[in-house]
Protein backbone atom coordinates (compact mmCIF):
# COMPACT_ATOMS: atom_id res chain seq x y z
CA UNK A 1 0.00 0.00 0.00
CA UNK A 2 1.43 3.40 -0.94
CA UNK A 3 1.73 6.19 1.62
CA UNK A 4 -0.85 8.94 1.91
CA UNK A 5 -0.27 11.98 -0.33
CA UNK A 6 -0.91 14.76 2.12
CA UNK A 7 0.44 17.67 0.06
CA UNK A 8 -3.04 18.36 -1.32
CA UNK A 9 -4.52 18.49 2.19
CA UNK A 10 -2.48 21.31 3.71
CA UNK A 11 -4.87 23.82 5.33
CA UNK A 12 -5.23 27.14 3.52
CA UNK A 13 -5.56 30.50 5.15
CA UNK A 14 -9.11 30.65 3.75
CA UNK A 15 -10.44 27.66 5.71
CA UNK A 16 -12.99 28.98 8.18
CA UNK A 17 -12.89 26.03 10.55
CA UNK A 18 -11.12 22.79 11.33
CA UNK A 19 -14.28 20.85 10.41
CA UNK A 20 -14.49 22.60 7.02
CA UNK A 21 -10.83 21.86 6.28
CA UNK A 22 -11.25 18.20 7.28
CA UNK A 23 -14.44 17.75 5.24
CA UNK A 24 -12.82 19.21 2.11
CA UNK A 25 -9.47 17.45 2.61
CA UNK A 26 -10.86 13.96 3.09
CA UNK A 27 -12.54 14.26 -0.33
CA UNK A 28 -9.09 14.81 -1.91
CA UNK A 29 -7.77 11.56 -0.47
CA UNK A 30 -8.26 8.31 -2.38
CA UNK A 31 -11.15 6.30 -0.94
CA UNK A 32 -8.92 3.41 0.09
CA UNK A 33 -6.69 5.79 2.08
CA UNK A 34 -9.38 7.79 3.89
CA UNK A 35 -9.29 5.58 6.97
CA UNK A 36 -5.58 6.31 7.39
CA UNK A 37 -6.05 10.03 6.73
CA UNK A 38 -8.84 10.27 9.29
CA UNK A 39 -6.70 8.40 11.82
CA UNK A 40 -3.87 10.89 11.28
CA UNK A 41 -6.20 13.87 11.68
CA UNK A 42 -7.77 12.49 14.86
CA UNK A 43 -4.36 11.61 16.32
CA UNK A 44 -2.96 15.05 15.53
CA UNK A 45 -5.98 16.86 16.96
CA UNK A 46 -5.96 14.72 20.11
CA UNK A 47 -2.26 15.27 20.76
CA UNK A 48 -2.56 19.03 20.17
CA UNK A 49 -5.50 19.12 22.59
CA UNK A 50 -3.53 17.20 25.23
CA UNK A 51 -0.55 19.54 24.76
CA UNK A 52 -2.79 22.58 25.04
CA UNK A 53 -4.41 21.26 28.22
CA UNK A 54 -1.01 20.51 29.72
CA UNK A 55 0.11 24.08 29.04
CA UNK A 56 -3.10 25.72 30.29
CA UNK A 57 -3.93 23.47 33.25
CA UNK A 58 -0.47 22.42 34.43
CA UNK A 59 1.68 25.36 33.35
CA UNK A 60 3.80 23.19 31.02
CA UNK A 61 5.78 24.76 28.21
CA UNK A 62 4.88 23.66 24.69
CA UNK A 63 7.57 21.49 23.10
CA UNK A 64 7.34 20.72 19.40
CA UNK A 65 9.93 17.94 19.60
CA UNK A 66 7.90 16.18 22.31
CA UNK A 67 4.66 16.65 20.35
CA UNK A 68 6.24 15.13 17.22
CA UNK A 69 7.70 12.25 19.24
CA UNK A 70 4.28 11.56 20.78
CA UNK A 71 2.72 11.68 17.30
CA UNK A 72 5.23 9.14 15.94
CA UNK A 73 4.57 6.87 18.93
CA UNK A 74 0.80 7.10 18.46
CA UNK A 75 1.13 6.60 14.71
CA UNK A 76 3.14 3.45 15.33
CA UNK A 77 0.50 2.09 17.73
CA UNK A 78 -2.36 2.92 15.33
CA UNK A 79 -0.43 1.25 12.52
CA UNK A 80 0.08 -1.90 14.59
CA UNK A 81 -3.69 -1.90 15.27
CA UNK A 82 -4.37 -1.75 11.52
CA UNK A 83 -5.75 1.79 11.45
CA UNK A 84 -2.91 3.22 9.36
CA UNK A 85 -1.05 1.98 6.31
φ and ψ of 60, to 5 deg: -70, 155
Helix (H/G/I), strand (E/B), else coil: 16:
coil
Helix (H/G/I), strand (E/B), else coil: 21:
helix
CA atoms within 13 A on the CB side of 73: 7
CA 66 to chain centre: 15
- Please give the pLDDT value at position 4: 58
The pTM (predicted TM-score) of the whole model is: 0.75
pLDDT band, residue 1 (cuts 50/70/90): very low
- Please give the pLDDT value at position 2: 47
Segment 48-75, tens digit of pLDDT: 999 999 999 999 999 999 999 999 998 8
Segment 14-37, tens digit of pLDDT: 778 889 899 989 998 999 989 888
Domain locations in the chain? 36-85
Amino acid sequence: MSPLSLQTCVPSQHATSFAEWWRKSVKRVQKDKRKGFNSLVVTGAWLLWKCRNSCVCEGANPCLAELLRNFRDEQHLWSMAGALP
